[in-house]
Amino acid sequence: MISRAKIFHLFVLTILFAGLQNVATAQNKENVFQFGSWVGVIQLNDANHNSDMPFNFNHTFNRNGKQIIEIVNAGERINVTEFSIKDDSLRMKLPVFQSEIIAQMLGNQLIGFYYPKGKAEGNGYKFTANFGITDRFNQYKEKSMVNITGKYEITENPGTADESKTLGEFFQIGDLVTGSILTTSGDYRYLDGKVSGRKFMVSAIDGAHTLLITADVSADGSLVNGKFVGSRKWKSEWKGVKNPTFALPKADELVTVSDPNIKFNFAFPDMEGKIVKLSDSRFNGKVVIIQAAGSWCPNCMDEVRYYKPIYDELHTKGLEIITLCFETKDYDKSKQRIIRFRDAIGAKFVFLHAGEAGSKDRTAAFPMLQGPLAFPSTVFIDRKGVIRKVETGFSGPGTGQHYVDFAKETRLFIEQLLSEN
């Protein structure tokens, strides 16, 4: 028979064990990465919370039942599959590019850092996220007093030596705003946000860029007191006026062939270290598209994605595509980035390491061209080796009809070149 003392002792132990289980369960619950909607915030300026850039993401499953983090920018969905959870830490690496987020899980909150070039490169930005929120700019509660839908002639850095023109196109339903801003070198991709009262605000993250764009809406519908923040150093002021007829110069009118007698050729290593030249026999008699790009460039990503299915379909009919990637001096380091970029998109054409990012090596690779050659830029060469067109910049799918028109026009031009003898 068990004594009363032993029974009491067992009772105490049971209570203690249950208490420890409850504590462990509570701790585990705190360390769980909650499934559902989150709003993350990257602090682009440590001293100014007006530079806090929000974005939406979901912890969910893909159609194959695999856990993913889905980043949402208007019509874009970025599926993050490279993430790990260890103890109370979450580490996620965004696809295509090098950026990653490392954060501590604290129940319904994440606290950590965003590293635009990866943890190894340092230069982190403070990052927080809160669970159960879907409103990207949830601190602004006032209903919209205006509708900004329309096309805007935007002046960046007005009244300065850096003044330039860009084209903004926005669409508003209720309080919610989507759209993009186009420049002569590319676009700001999928912008997502709202209008609260007379305050306009949009943001986006794609793994290479973080963008926060704000302005006030004046009585006449103009966008004033505009602020643009992309990083600690990448900032500008802007203003916009509705102008339905405003247009940027065409992409194929900015860069010209200064000397058609210069023989276009190059010699750069591919991803196996083999030197590839434009004069190689494999390119003779072919229509060749040459891109100036970089694994760090989101507009380049959009352009490579556009050309991927075209190459897959038309390669057997004589189409070749060569992507010259401008990265770092270090071939091995650059190679890793280029392969990640190429494989994430699934492109099967030729990728070469062409030197460092910047204008010096890019200009040296294209000595016959004159004008503001941007990343990306594209050279179209016919079967006889003649440069038929040069386009600089790229208006991607985030620009809506601009992209649709480009895609149709470019496809027809490539088919025309392939039909020629």
pLDDT tens-digit readout, 3-34: 555 444 444 434 433 443 443 333 445 578 99
Are 271 and 406 found together in one domain? Answer: yes
Do 208 and 296 lie in a common domain?
A: no
Q: Are residues 415 and 273 in the same domain?
A: yes
116 prior amide bond cis, ω within 30? no
Where is the domain boundary, 193, 217, 242? 242
- 177, 48: one domain: no
- Residue where a domain terminates, one of 131, 161, 183: 131
Burial 230-254 (b: 16+ CB within 10 A, else e): bbeeeebebbbbbeeebebeebbeb
**Element of type H or E holding 156:** strand 150-156
Burial pattern 61-78, b for ≥16 Cβ within 10 A else e, equals eeeeeeebbbbbbbeeeb
408, 282: one domain: yes
Specify the pLDDT at position 358.
Answer: 84
Q: Are strands 164-173 and 150-156 parallel, antiparallel or unpaired?
A: antiparallel
State the DSSP code for 132.
T
Q: Does any domain span residue 144?
A: no
Give residue 2's pLDDT: 53
CA 23 to CA 277: how far, in whole Å?
66
Mean pLDDT for all residues in the chain? 91
What per-residue confidence (pLDDT) applies to 382? 95
Considering its fold, how many domains does the chain have in total?
4
Non-local (6+) Cβ contacts of 72 within 8 A are 55, 56, 57, 58, 78, 192
pLDDT at 239 over 60: yes
Same domain, 5 and 100: no
Looking at 103, 131, 159, which one is the last position of a domain? Answer: 131
Q: CATH number for the domain including 202?
A: 2.40.128.120
Residue position matching structure tokens 């969910």: 60
88: CB partners within 8 A, 6+ apart: 30, 31, 104, 105, 106
Q: Are residues 369 and 306 in the same domain?
A: yes
Look up the CATH number of the domain holding residue 361: 3.40.30.10
Q: Is residue 218 part of a domain?
A: yes
pLDDT 10s digits, 128-139: 999 999 999 999
Structural domain including 191 reads 150-242
- In this structure, the answer to whether residues 355 and 310 fall within a common structural domain is yes
